[in-house]
Amino acid sequence: MNSPFFHFVLSLPDHVNTEIVKLKNEARRVIGDYPGMGSKPHITTNNYPKHPIHVHDHGFSMFERRLTALPAVVFEIDGFDCFNENNGYNKTIYAKLKISDHNTYWLKLLWDIVGKGSGTPHITIARGLTPEQFNLLWPYFQRKELKKRFVVSKFTILKNLVNSGTSVYREFEFKGSADSLNSVYQDYLMRHVKNTTAVNKQISLF
């Protein structure tokens, strides 16, 4: 059975999507074709394991109430970075997100619902780069500056089937109140400060 593989992503607003597409096209002009150059930009959060489709129909519906209770959130792009891919050969260049304390807490709430990925949330510019392609392209992005704040208001589940490509499977809109999150966030900060203070006191005893 050809079970689907699901990607959990945060959708970008149109003006940011346009900016990232321009960067992907610039990368193509520098190094030629590369994997995923035509894919729609998004913030990668995590992937969901392969299971029979009926499991997802039930499970993803269970996400809906909690996801829609989250408020929209502001992120900021702050330059570019890169990482080695799992095969140890290819590299990915991405737009780096400046993660504030508020973003950290919001992501914790999101991951409590959908599960935490192993990587840092990011916006891919070019992936699957060979060492030769990377050595040509990375100096270009090292010199380039990009700072942009934007609002994320949708969570998207992409479905990938072998030989069928990727398509949007479901979308959830964040409809929660920012005020309610702020109060929960303040409680979280207070607990964090108290815990840190307690740990520091214990350390000082030694």
pLDDT at residue 96 in the model: 96
Domain boundaries, the chain: 5-175, 178-206
CA distance 146 to 16: 11
- Write down the pLDDT at residue 24: 97
What confidence score (pLDDT) does residue 61 get? 82
Q: Mean pLDDT in runs of 10 for the chain (206 residues)?
A: 79 96 96 91 78 62 88 96 90 96 91 81 94 96 95 91 80 84 56 49 42
75/150 Cα distance (integer angstroms): 6
Q: What pLDDT score does 192 carry?
A: 52
Q: Does domain 5-175 have CATH number 3.50.50.60?
A: no
Q: Identify the sign of the CA torsion 193, 112, 82, 18.
A: negative
| pLDDT of res. 31 | 96
Structure tokens at 97: 């997100």
Whole-prediction pTM: 0.81
